Structure 1
């Protein structure tokens, strides 16, 4: 895929969004319909999360269970619509930076692999360790009563956050191909990148202990290095 340097990127971006306006509307309608569909099975999904994390839930408001089910349905809908979302992003980049549309399949495939990989990493590793650590502070006279609303917010936010942050190599390649960043320059600021990754790990991980932070920081740093290598290759191909 090749990229061009647009003279007026903001106007091109607005033009690109206008061209995909119908596709955006279709995506919004699809999100709504999927949310309604997932709402029906949301109780089973929450039960699955409960069993996976071994937690009992309670609610403290009349609308809290309803809102929790809606949030679960929305998160599931976003996970299902991810390929379509990636396709829309690719179309915008094609319009603004002149990428070849025929390489869009590879972009979507890699994006799905990274995003779902991040979600699985969070679901099977980070969340169980994080919840276990947070609840380890309970005492004999302090019994935790976890709100279903907070439970859904906690799980949904971290699942989507991990999926998004695992897209780092793909984002770096896109920005390098678009000429927004120079991977050779970025490589010289590796110390700064490590600091940013450490801060992100501290923010994204649900617990402040070093072990859980390392579970996030190490994969992030590896993704950064992979993204750096792939970006350099992409820029080299562009020059050739």
Structure 2
């Protein structure tokens, strides 16, 4: 009798490896964060060196919306000490370095979070960096060209025609820089929401569900960022924040990570 032919079993399949290549420990995360922060600070230092020799010109250009809002015959700012102009120009160099190094700083932030992402998510680095950089500069430009020319005259008119302001270099520079940076950050909201939705941390339904909470949080954050406590400046910052939150919901619905059939079934059972 012939022996029955034995069927060869297929080799066991190897478990699929996760697309995320690197898993760092807590201390390795701290070391990576330290490295990225140092590089970001070095980038800001290089930016400061580049704009350092133009501090006075940059200051006079940035102050144009303030100077144009002054009463007729008063086209200058005051300083209360001989050291104040030096400190003002030093602050201009610091913030100018931040604006100049913004793309590099954003890249260092991306490099810090990249090891925890999947390969397909790491491929979007350049579109997101380009979008984040353009929106940051766009927010600052929107503030300078469209908000400040109307905001400062409106604020000056509140005091009345028989009042004349005594504006110092330090206070007005702090106000202008806070507004520029604030609007730059506000314009980043859609990119941040779109990114979080693509990696599955938030969803359009979640954002829409907590829309009212987000409005309260946006107004509170705008009140903290806004250097003055008047409702006009608060509205100038809070309204774009709410608008960009709504745009973020639309982007999350388009670009968000789709739920699997198992997740849909679990949601249905939970309801």
Q: TM-score surpassing 0.5?
A: yes
- Of 31, 41, 64, 1:51 maps to 64
1:221 equivalenced with 2:234 (yes/no): no
2: CA distance between counterparts of 1:166 and 1:187?
19
The equivalent of 2:230 in structure 1 is 208
The equivalent of 2:165 in structure 1 is 144
2: CA distance between counterparts of 1:152 and 1:29?
24
Task: Note the 1:129-140 alignment, pairs <5 A.
Answer: 129-138=150-159
The equivalent of 2:256 in structure 1 is 235
2: CA distance between counterparts of 1:139 and 1:184?
48
8 Å contact from structure 2 (residues 19, 118) kept in 1: yes
8 Å contact from structure 2 (residues 47, 97) kept in 1: yes
1: CA distance between counterparts of 2:191 and 2:82?
43
8 Å contact from structure 2 (residues 40, 108) kept in 1: no
Change (3 A) 1:27 1:209: closer
Cα displacement (A) at 1:91? 1.4
**Any idea what the Cα deviations from partners look like across 1:94-139, whole Å, max 9, x if unmatched?**
1133363321100101101221121111112222323222222445
1:83 equivalenced with 2:103 (yes/no): yes
The equivalent of 2:92 in structure 1 is 72
Change (3 A) 1:20 1:198: closer
Cα displacement (A) at 1:67? 0.9
Larger helix share, 1 or 2? 1
8 Å contact from structure 2 (residues 194, 255) kept in 1: yes
8 Å contact from structure 2 (residues 135, 188) kept in 1: yes
Root-mean-square deviation over aligned CA pairs: 3.1
The equivalent of 2:201 in structure 1 is 180
TM-score between both structures, scaled by the size of structure 2: 0.73
2: CA distance between counterparts of 1:202 and 1:216?
8
Cα displacement (A) at 1:83? 0.9
**Any idea what the Cα deviations from partners look like across 1:135-156, whole Å, max 9, x if unmatched?**
2244566432211111111111
TM-score between both structures, scaled by the size of structure 1: 0.81
Matched pairs, number: 234
2: CA distance between counterparts of 1:155 and 1:195?
25
Cα displacement (A) at 1:203? 4.6
5+ unaligned residues in a row in structure 2: which ranges? Answer: 1-17, 71-75, 262-271
2: CA distance between counterparts of 1:126 and 1:168?
19
Change (3 A) 1:184 1:76: same
2: CA distance between counterparts of 1:238 and 1:112?
30
The equivalent of 2:48 in structure 1 is 35
